[in-house]
Amino acid sequence: MPTYRVESRQGGYPVVVERGVLARTADWLPPKAGQLFVVSTADVWRHKGAELERALGSVPHQVLYLPGGEEHKRLQPVEELAERMVELGGDRSSVVLAFGGGIVNDMAGFLAAIFMRGIPVVQAPTTLLAQVDASIGGKTGVNLVSGKNLVGSFHPPAAVLIDPALLDSLPEREYRAGLYEIVKAGIIRDAALFAYLAESRAAVLAREAGAVDRIIADSVRMKVEVVSADEREGDLRRILNFGHTFGHALEAHTRYTRFLHGEAVAWGMRAAIHLGQMAGYCSAEDSLDMLDLIGSYGPVPPLDGIYADDLIARLVHDKKTVQGKVHFVLPVRVGEVTVASEVDPATVREAIRSALA
């Protein structure tokens, strides 16, 4: 399986996609590293900690826990872990190893970004969503009550170690939530991946190794290309936010408790597809293909009690909103999206209503 290289202002880093790579974690720690702090959750550690302990062998390390759940992705637990690292003798030579899903990747990455003004982080993602998205690209941060990921920093990792074998025991809901980020990769930039997801649904849902490895490798390659071309989201990287503008509004509105991130993105993509068609960017035929593919990887939790106006009020707090203008990533056809900033608010309302219907 492949190893990719992300180009970054801070020198670039490898993204290794390989069954069993977790067992070689020690090989990927930065040379001359001081104390190693493994940051995980109690739940991930209960299920997978023994595998990482075996992999680290004689490498001394401390395990620190973050609370699980998007509603706990806040500044306070990061500060608490930083205090703990100081108590345990952490210094500028220390290294963080993030071992968990997207929330752990983002929070442990942020902890590394700000601890003693920045120490290296190695990302070892344990969920599908984190393997294909959160662990790659150096975005780190936490949520505010007013919006998702509104405090954070770009802090490229020293390495990303993606072991698809870790997904064999992932709960079904988490697995499907991650698949929506892969559907996103197909829609925004990879028509062949989109076609494969449509043709191979049974193999993908049955987690056949060949199918899982292929969709992960395709999605990772896409993300590596995009973030290497535009690390700081000045231009191309914005396409990765397809489905996220509405999705983040949905997560914030429901206080991060009703939807997994990937599920909110699934609803967000539906809204963006309706908007793309209504605003004249995308044909009805292509829109239907995209909506069908999203539907075929369901179910996602329903939107009962959520109204278009609730979400519209939230859109202005999104990071993609610049000087009051909401930027929407809209589909043009399968494999291509565009960023639109002049979309008629009435059409936005109508599109959200259609997606909620």
Whether the CB-CB separation of 161 and 22 falls below 8 Å is answered with yes
| Residue 18 binds ligand GLY (CB under 6 A) | no
**By CB under 6 A, which span of 73-81, 108-116, 131-139, 279-287 interacts with ligand GLY?**
131-139
Binding ligand GLY by CB under 6 A: which of 18, 70, 106, 133? 133
Binding ligand GLY by CB under 6 A: which of 182, 215, 240, 271? 240
- CA 30/CA 112 separation, integer angstroms: 14
Distances from the Cα of 28 to the Cα of 55, 157, 162, 195, 227, angstroms: 11, 11, 12, 35, 21
Please indicate whether residue 327 is annotated as part of the active site.
no
- CA 174/CA 125 separation, integer angstroms: 13
CB of 28 to ligand GLY, least distance (A): 21
| Residue 139 binds ligand GLY (CB under 6 A) | yes
Size of the site for ligand GLY (CB under 6 A): 5
Catalytic residue among 48, 73, 139, 148: 139
Catalytic residue among 48, 189, 244, 314: 244
Please indicate whether residue 223 is annotated as part of the active site.
yes
Whether the CB-CB separation of 230 and 237 falls below 8 Å is answered with yes
Please indicate whether residue 248 is annotated as part of the active site.
yes
A 10 A CB-CB count for 182 gives: 29
CB of 134 to ligand GLY, least distance (A): 7
| Residue 327 binds ligand GLY (CB under 6 A) | no
Please indicate whether residue 181 is annotated as part of the active site.
yes
Binding ligand GLY by CB under 6 A: which of 155, 176, 184, 237? 237
CB of 220 to ligand GLY, least distance (A): 12
Q: Which helix (H) or strand (E) holds 141?
A: strand 139-144
The type of residue at 319 is K
| Residue 214 binds ligand GLY (CB under 6 A) | no
Catalytic residue among 238, 261, 274, 314: 261
Between 129 and 170, CB nearer to ligand GLY? 129
Tokens of 101: 């899903």
- CA 79/CA 329 separation, integer angstroms: 34
Q: DSSP class of residue 140?
A: E
**By CB under 6 A, which span of 106-114, 132-140, 265-273, 332-340 interacts with ligand GLY?**
132-140
Smallest CA-to-CA distance from 245 within 332, 331, 312 is with: 312
DSSP SS3 for 40: strand
Catalytic residue among 241, 270, 274, 320: 241
| Residue 137 binds ligand GLY (CB under 6 A) | yes
Catalytic residue among 18, 174, 181, 251: 181
Between 48 and 221, CB nearer to ligand GLY? 221
Residues 290-319, interacting with ligand GLY (CB under 6 A): none
Catalytic residue among 70, 231, 233, 263: 233
Q: β-strand 121-125 against 95-100: which pairing, if any?
A: parallel
Whether the CB-CB separation of 293 and 193 falls below 8 Å is answered with no
Whether the CB-CB separation of 349 and 310 falls below 8 Å is answered with no
Residue with smallest beta-carbon separation from ligand GLY: 240
302 CB contacts (<8 Å, ≥6 apart)?
none
To 10 degrees, what angle do helices 172-189 and 261-278 make?
30
Between 134 and 278, CB nearer to ligand GLY? 134
Q: What are phi and psi of 103, to 5 degrees?
A: -65, -45
Between 39 and 329, CB nearer to ligand GLY? 329
Q: Which residues are catalytic?
A: 117, 139, 181, 223, 233, 237, 241, 244, 248, 261
Where do contacts with ligand GLY occur on this chain (CB under 6 A)? 133, 137, 139, 237, 240
